[in-house]
Amino acid sequence: MTHAAVGLEAERLACGALQRDGFTILGRRVRTAAGEIDAIAERHGLTVFVEVKARRSLACAAAALRPRQQARLLGAAEILLGEHPDWGREGVRFDVIAVDTAGRTRRIKDALRLN
């Protein structure tokens, strides 16, 4: 599988996990001037910006969010919240969903916080 195909499959699995947890997917692979967000989900007014990381193991995937990617995620979320003032009525959160080669997922809630 190519890296792009692995990424698309990981995003599909991550969105499926979110939907099983009661989230509505607001967008996938949403592009902004600051960069792309893998998924945006909402449940009960909570908007969650999701970075999906696919690696050999869940531990490797969980540790893969680098500072540059964090900055991209924050910048993109800021743009999108400005464009969608109805998002985040009950708060905003940044999660990472780790996906391993067996297709297992693990969501790390509140993986990134604004200072």
- With respect to residue 52, please indicate whether it lies within any of the assigned structural domains: yes
Does any domain span residue 14? Answer: yes
pLDDT for position 34: 96
- Does residue 35 fall inside a structural domain? yes
Whether residue 80 is contained in a domain is answered as: no
Residues 82-95 have pLDDT tens digits of 999 999 999 999 99
Residue 35 sits in a domain whose CATH number is: 3.40.1350.10
pLDDT in tens, 29-83: 999 999 999 999 999 999 999 999 999 888 887 777 888 888 999 999 999 999 9
pLDDT (0 to 100) of residue 114: 61
77 assigned to some structural domain:
no
Long-range contacts at 55-62 (CB < 8 A, ≥ 24 apart): 55/98, 55/99, 55/100, 55/101, 56/100, 56/101, 57/100, 57/101, 58/98, 58/99, 58/100, 58/104, 58/106, 59/98, 61/98, 61/99, 61/100, 61/106, 62/96, 62/98, 62/106, 62/108
Residue 20 has pLDDT above 80, yes or no: yes
Asked if residue 15 is part of any domain, the answer here is yes
Residue 72 is assigned to a structural domain of this protein: no
pTM for this entry: 0.92
Question: Could you tell me the residue range of the domain that residue 93 belongs to?
Answer: 3-65+85-112
Statement: residue 1 has pLDDT above 80: no
Count of domains observed in the chain: 1
What is the predicted pLDDT for the residue at 61? 79
pLDDT-derived band at 115 (thresholds 50, 70, 90) equals low
Whether 74 maps to a domain, the answer reads no
